[in-house]
Amino acid sequence: MSGLIPTALSANDDYRMPQYGIGFTNIVQRPTKAGSDITKDEITAGAEVLMQKIKMYRPKIVAFNGRGIYEVYAGNKHFHYGKQPELFPGTDTNTYF
């Protein structure tokens, strides 16, 4: 267990995560076989929607699961894994990759 929540859940239980204050979202709302199937324009548009969601819900942490998506979001290919030094713009939200 990661310690994020007080009980063990499987991937099939992801719908229960909001009761623990944890939510999930996608940058692109269509199925793809690989990250390379997503265009830079789709990621840019999805990043705008993500920014709106983060400003509305004000999470403590945002975690990215995908280097390519984080590169487009951050506008920088030079970053380290883990907690990023800057907060999510306009919030007190920490960003992790």
Token representation of residue 31? 């199925």
Task: For residue 67, tell me if it sits in a domain.
Answer: yes
> Measured on CA atoms in the order 85, 83, 92, 54, is the torsion positive or negative?
positive
pLDDT at 1: 57
Q: Quick check: is 70 in a domain?
A: yes
State whether residue 19 is helix, strand or coil.
Answer: helix
Interval 4-46: pLDDT, tens: 889 888 889 989 988 988 888 888 888 888 777 888 888 888 8
pLDDT at 27: 83
Q: Using one digit for the tens of pLDDT, what is the confidence trace for 37-96?
A: 888 888 888 888 988 888 888 888 888 887 777 777 777 778 888 888 888 878 888 888
77 within domain boundaries: yes
pTM of the entire predicted model: 0.69
Count how many domains the chain has: 1
Residue with token string 């990023």: 84
The answer as to whether 16 is a domain residue is: no
In terms of residue numbers, what domain contains 66? 59-97
Q: Is residue 36 part of a domain?
A: no
